[in-house]
Amino acid sequence: MFDDISLFIRIVQKRSLAAAALDANLPSATVSRRLKKLEDKLGCQLLHRSARKFSLTAEGEVYYRAYADLVQQFEVTSRNLSSDVHQLNGKLTVLAPTNVSVGILQPMWSAFIGLYPEIQLNLFLSNQTKDIHQGHVDLALRVGPQEDSLLFQKKLGGTSTILVASPDYLADQGEPDGLDALEEHRIILVNTVPLWKLQYCPDGYSDKHRWEEIRPQATTIIDDIGLASQLARDGHGIVLLPVSEIEKELSEGALVRVLPEWQGAKREIFAVWPTGRLLSARAKCLRDFMQDFIAKNRILQGHIPL
């Protein structure tokens, strides 16, 4: 019905059915039929139809005054929204995990800001999963598949997880010769992964049929991967960490692999956004930019440096 009201307002403003039809790119017969349909619905005549004269009825005058401003506001708002959705400028609000964002993904954010200076990136970092449905969040970066059925999710990549410790710790405590021997060692546990699901991967090749689950008896439990890595470097025990967080430490020898024939479950990275919400050009641009950046990073495609 709103479309017919809008057409009636256009007829009045153009002062003829023919001019309104031309402006709306519609056949004159269609405009006349829709006007008649609106009048029938309202139960009154809105226009005096005459080849020589165009005029509103008393009811038409009341109806026009009631809806003209509303229709104009609707059309202006619609144009602005359409422009906002399709333009690569304006505000873009994104949620992302802290550790990966200030670590291996830091160059990605910098490159995006440099390439799209007209986009105001509002980036909120937290290692706690925030509700994307609250507020005006356009896009979120999440680790692990999401169980929320009200979210679209697109896998961008993933990083391997491995057991590591400092050389000094292993020199002092010895290297475990199997998973059972981990019981004799000090364990640093990241509390978001209380259960270690380990896959047997001799010579780097995964045996999909052999998995072991361990619930380690931790000597230290922590909720931050960065600090867990630091504690391992300081010689406080063995820890299961994503390679993306310890690439530098591995290359410098500050951390070394423990039981290298075993790997933890991959930490998959997803872009997520709410279903039922139109993804703006800005959000699509960032999503595609992230996908391209992550696809070119070997660590974020599961590679483990030797």
User: Are residues 81 and 147 located together in one domain of the fold?
Assistant: no
Residue 113 lies inside a defined structural domain of this protein: no
Which of the four pLDDT bands, split at 50, 70 and 90, describes residue 274?
A: confident
Q: What confidence tens digit (pLDDT) does each residue in 242-252 have? A: 999 999 999 99
Name the packing angle between helices 17-24 and 2-14 (round to 10°): 120
Domain of residue 48, CATH code: 1.10.10.10
* Structure confidence at residue 78 (pLDDT): 62
User: Are residues 208 and 282 located together in one domain of the fold?
Assistant: yes
The number of domains in the chain is: 2
Tokens of 247: 């690439």
User: Are residues 148 and 82 located together in one domain of the fold?
Assistant: no
The average pLDDT across 298-304 equals 94
Mean pLDDT, the chain, whole residue set: 87
Indicate whether 114 pLDDT > 90. Answer: yes
User: Are residues 162 and 63 located together in one domain of the fold?
Assistant: no
Between 128 and 305, residue with greater pLDDT: 305
d(CA 205, CA 207) in angstroms, rounded, equals: 7
Which of the four pLDDT bands, split at 50, 70 and 90, describes residue 85?
A: low
Q: Which domain holds residue 79?
A: 2-86
Using CA atoms in the order 9, 11, 12, 16, what is the torsion angle rounded to 10 degrees?
180
Between 75 and 287, residue with greater pLDDT: 287
User: Are residues 73 and 159 located together in one domain of the fold?
Assistant: no
User: Are residues 175 and 38 located together in one domain of the fold?
Assistant: no
Answer with the one of 86, 101, 121 that is the final residue of a domain.
86
Answer with the one of 67, 86, 105 that is the final residue of a domain.
86
Prediction pTM value: 0.69
How far is residue 211 from each of residues 23, 175, 196, 200, 302, measured CA to CA in Å? 68, 21, 10, 6, 18
The average pLDDT across 281-291 equals 94
* Structure confidence at residue 178 (pLDDT): 93
Which of the four pLDDT bands, split at 50, 70 and 90, describes residue 86?
A: low
Which of the four pLDDT bands, split at 50, 70 and 90, describes residue 81?
A: low
One-letter amino acid of 134? Q
Residue 119 lies inside a defined structural domain of this protein: no
Between 73 and 29, residue with greater pLDDT: 29
Residue 125 lies inside a defined structural domain of this protein: no
Q: What confidence tens digit (pLDDT) does each residue in 115-152 have? A: 999 999 999 998 887 778 776 889 999 998 777 777 88
Report the candidate in 265, 269, 262 with the shortest Cα–Cα distance to residue 100. 269
Residue 301 lies inside a defined structural domain of this protein: yes
User: Are residues 160 and 59 located together in one domain of the fold?
Assistant: no
User: Are residues 186 and 287 located together in one domain of the fold?
Assistant: yes
Residue 6 lies inside a defined structural domain of this protein: yes
User: Are residues 201 and 305 located together in one domain of the fold?
Assistant: yes
How far is residue 267 from each of residues 246, 247, 263, measured CA to CA in Å? 14, 15, 11
Q: What confidence tens digit (pLDDT) does each residue in 175-200 have? A: 999 999 999 999 999 998 999 999 99
φ/ψ of residue 44, rounded to 5: -155, 160
* Structure confidence at residue 31 (pLDDT): 83
User: Are residues 252 and 183 located together in one domain of the fold?
Assistant: yes
Residue 256 lies inside a defined structural domain of this protein: yes
Q: What percent of the chain has pLDDT over 90?
A: 55
Contacts of 73 (CB under 8 A, 6+ apart): none
User: Are residues 51 and 152 located together in one domain of the fold?
Assistant: no
Answer with the one of 86, 104, 123 that is the final residue of a domain.
86
* Structure confidence at residue 19 (pLDDT): 82
The average pLDDT across 90-113 equals 94
* Structure confidence at residue 265 (pLDDT): 92
Residue 96 lies inside a defined structural domain of this protein: no
Question: 286-293: long-range contacts (C-beta < 8 A, 24 or more apart)?
Answer: 286/92, 286/94, 286/112, 286/119, 286/121, 286/139, 287/139, 287/154, 289/108, 289/111, 289/112, 289/115, 290/108, 290/141, 290/156, 291/154, 291/156, 293/105, 293/107, 293/108, 293/111
The average pLDDT across 209-230 equals 92
Indicate whether 216 pLDDT > 80. Answer: yes
Give, in degrees to the nearest 5, the angle at Cα 8 between 7 and 14.
85
User: Are residues 82 and 147 located together in one domain of the fold?
Assistant: no
Residue 138 lies inside a defined structural domain of this protein: no
Domain of residue 225, CATH code: 3.40.190.290
